[in-house]
Amino acid sequence: MKLITIAGPPSSGKTAVTIKAIAALQREGVHVGVVKFDSLSTQDQTVYEKQGVAVMSGLSGNLCPDHFFVSNVSDCLSWGAEKGFDLLVIESAGLCNRCAPHIQGVLAVCVIDNLSGVDTPKKIGPMLKMSDVVVITKGDIVSQAEREVFSYRVRQVNANATIINVNGLTGQGGHELGKLLLNAPETPDLEGRLLRFSMPAALCSYCLGQRKIGSDFQMGNVKKMDFK
Amino acid sequence: MPTDTENRELISLPTAELLRLAPFAGDFFSSIGLELPAEEISTADYFASLDAELLEDLGLERQTLAERFTAFMELLENLKSGIDSAHIESITIRGGHDKSGRAEEFDLTVKPGEVICIVGPTGSGKSRFLADIEWMAQGDTPTGRNILINGAAPDPSQRFSIEHKLVAQLSQNMNFVMDLTVEEFITMHAESRMVDDISSVTAAIIKLANDLAGEKFTPQTPVTALSGGQSRALMIADTSCLSTSPIVLIDEIENAGIDRKRAVHTLVDKRKIVLMATHDPILALMGDRRLVFKNGGIATIIDTSQEERANLVRFEEMDAMLGAVRNALRNGELIGKLG
Ligand SMILES: Nc1nc2c(ncn2[C@@H]2O[C@H](COP(=O)(O)OP(=O)(O)OP(=O)(O)O)[C@@H](O)[C@H]2O)c(=O)[nH]1
Ligand SMILES: Nc1ncnc2c1ncn2[C@@H]1O[C@H](COP(=O)(O)OP(=O)(O)O)[C@@H](O)[C@H]1O
Ligand SMILES: [Mg+2]
Ligand SMILES: [Mg+2]
């Protein structure tokens, strides 16, 4: 089975473009399944189901959704294999710009939208900079000049990725994205594989449930701003 | 122009020297969240000196920095050479088949400066045709069409490269989402294209756009304050001067408060191939050819005849008349009996 991680900021169009790509793949007889990770709730389960796509949701609750993802990704793979998918897509929650659920040797896709503004590409960390395919959405809403500047800025921070514009509403580019997804390498198992980048270090008292503010209550990995 | 080996050497140059040779190289550092290195330090030494914690915070790995730098410098080169030589002489669309599998019996070759109209009902395959061109289909889309550049299959690496994008699209429901003045906006676009004389290019585009738009605007007008017609005029001027894409796709510029004929001529003058999905009589007759779509395929290709084009004068008179009425309404006048 081929495995693909799709990440991107909230509401950037991950589900919309994934569905368009899957629709094109299904027409060619490719059997695709999806796992959606999110923190509190997700509508995506129903959106995928409506399209007739087999889907599983993982809600991380009070855990960081990306850490939760890593702890569960091997099980996702087993589930997909059991279901007999040709291709399993994992859609991340994409809540923090520093995180990246991308795995070495697994096709990594980042979805960002033109509406987020031309300065966004430089603000997004490994999720964008270490992805293999960058999907840019919502080109229908902005001008040609903004589209060109935006893709140039993406290229600046990730010169090696394949950049593709897909419209999540009309599906323009969905067929082509499907082709790119089919290029993903086979992933028989994930034991011992490496994340492309370490997840942010986070073990302070607040990770453990502390709610009080003040230096007496801060323990562990605490970092201070420099006001000088 | 620096070659690959020279790019590798750029990394050993002191920053002052680097910026002298490649003024846009400074963008590399800011784009990944790093400060510009001190003038006398080379990029390679700068990478070696960066604090591990800072790199961790920025989500960067030291060993990939040199590779990123080289890739960035190559990108600059490619973009620059892309502008210097827009070497597309022709684009050929080799027919595939319609939705029922019936073969399209044609090879359509289009050349810079040509205007092609696309007509047909909803669902007839117009958007799919444009997507075939945009993605340089190689028999691998639902239509089975093949796109040839200068008579040959394009290099696979071109298919997804932003430097070789074939189609620039000017669409109806386009907005500006940036809060910039017209001048800042065009400057930003010109910078991303690494144009040599940014200020004169910017001035030329703004002048051209003002010639096209009914109502005038200044370089200091915020882009978000432009009317629909002004926005379209600005984007037509901008695309004709700054876009590397040889094809400009326009969907519906009807009634946009802009001189449609001049807009199309502007693009033709800049040697663009103009594709228009339109049922507007004036625009359709301006086309050299019309592609008629049915059931997912091109059913006929009509060359605009002299006879058809002779009607253009009439249509333009009618259009001018309606325009005058529109103006009268805008000015609060009464519409008298038509002569
Ligand atoms: N205009 C336009 N809207 C789009 C496009 N792509 C997605 N959208 C809309 O953007 C909204 C968010 O899209 P989703 O696909 O749910 O985004 P997401 O990244 O999956 O969101 P989360 O999973 O909740 O983080 C939806 O209303 C989509 O219809 C596009 O290309 N153009
Ligand atoms: N030759 C073809 N073979 C199979 N499907 C096609 C073909 N041409 C178009 N389609 C499909 O038909 C649908 C409608 O086509 P579209 O290009 O969106 O029509 P239009 O833009 O004219 O309204 C799309 O899903 C498209 O992928
Ligand atoms: Mg989603
Ligand atoms: Mg259409």
> Which residues fall within 8 angstroms of residue A28, CB to CB, at 6 or more apart?
A178
The count of domains in chain A is: 1
Q: What is the pLDDT of residue B1?
A: 47
Q: Using 50, 70 and 90 to split pLDDT, how confident is the model at A32?
A: very high
Whether A12 is in a domain gets the answer yes
Whether A23 is in a domain gets the answer yes
Cα–Cα distance, B233 to B221 (Å, whole number): 14
Q: Which residues does a 6 A CB cutoff place in the pocket of ligand 2?
A: B 97-99, 120, 122-128, 142-143, 293, 296-297
Q: Using 50, 70 and 90 to split pLDDT, how confident is the model at B83?
A: low
Whether A15 is in a domain gets the answer yes
Does this complex have an ipTM over 0.95?
Answer: no
The verdict on B217 touching A (C-beta cutoff 8 Å) is no
Whether A57 is in a domain gets the answer yes
Closest CA relative to residue A177, chosen from A45, A92, A87, A43: A87
* B189/A175 Cβ within 8 A: no
The verdict on A193 touching B (C-beta cutoff 8 Å) is no
Does the pLDDT value for residue A114 go beyond 70? yes
Q: Using 50, 70 and 90 to split pLDDT, how confident is the model at B123?
A: very high
Whether A221 is in a domain gets the answer no
The verdict on B28 touching A (C-beta cutoff 8 Å) is yes
Does the pLDDT value for residue B3 go beyond 80? no
Residue ranges and CATH numbers for the domains of chain B are: 4-81 (no CATH), 99-178+226-304 (3.40.50.300)
* A129/B59 Cβ within 8 A: yes
Cα–Cα distance, A95 to A117 (Å, whole number): 17
Q: What is the pLDDT of residue A100?
A: 78
Helices A144-157/B182-192 angle, 10° precision = 40
Residue with the smallest CA separation from ligand 1 atom 32 is A138
Give residue-wise pLDDT tens across range B221-273.
999 999 888 998 999 999 999 988 899 988 766 566 677 888 889 999 989 99
**Is the C-alpha dihedral spanning A98, A101, A102, A108 positive or negative?**
negative
| Total number of residues shown for chain B | 339
| Range of lowest pLDDT (A48-52, B28-32, B47-51, B81-85) | B81-85
Q: What is the pLDDT of residue B4?
A: 54
- Do B11 and B2 meet the contact criterion of CB atoms below 8 Å apart? no
The secondary element (H helix, E strand) that includes residue A112 is strand A107-113
Q: What is the pLDDT of residue A43?
A: 87
Q: Using 50, 70 and 90 to split pLDDT, how confident is the model at B6?
A: low
Give residue-wise pLDDT tens across range B275-296.
998 888 888 888 999 999 999 9
Q: What is the pLDDT of residue B77?
A: 81
User: Exposed, middle or buried, B202 (CB in 10 Å: 0-12/13-18/19+)?
Assistant: buried
> Which residues fall within 8 angstroms of residue A191, CB to CB, at 6 or more apart?
A74
Cα–Cα distance, B288 to B286 (Å, whole number): 7
Q: How far, in Å, from the CA of B249 to the mean position of ligand 4?
A: 12
Give residue-wise pLDDT tens across range A44-94.
999 999 999 999 998 888 777 888 888 899 999 999 999 999 999 999 987
Whether A80 is in a domain gets the answer yes
Residue A133 is part of which domain span?
A: 2-200
The predicted model gives A8-14 an average pLDDT of 93
Give residue-wise pLDDT tens across range B297-335.
999 999 999 999 999 889 989 988 888 888 888 889 988
* Nearest-atom index, ligand 1, CA of A167: 31
CATH of the domain at A13: 3.40.50.300
Whether A77 is in a domain gets the answer yes
* B60/A142 Cβ within 8 A: no
The predicted model gives A10-35 an average pLDDT of 95
Whether A47 is in a domain gets the answer yes
> Which residues fall within 8 angstroms of residue B194, CB to CB, at 6 or more apart?
B24, B76, B79, B80, B83
Does the pLDDT value for residue B18 go beyond 70? yes
Q: What is the pLDDT of residue B324?
A: 85
Q: Using 50, 70 and 90 to split pLDDT, how confident is the model at B81?
A: low
The predicted model gives B29-53 an average pLDDT of 91
Q: Using 50, 70 and 90 to split pLDDT, how confident is the model at A29?
A: very high
Closest CA relative to residue A120, chosen from A133, A106, A132, A134: A134
* pTM (2 d.p.): 0.86
Q: Which residues surround ligand 3, an ion (CB under 5 A)?
A: A 14-15, 44
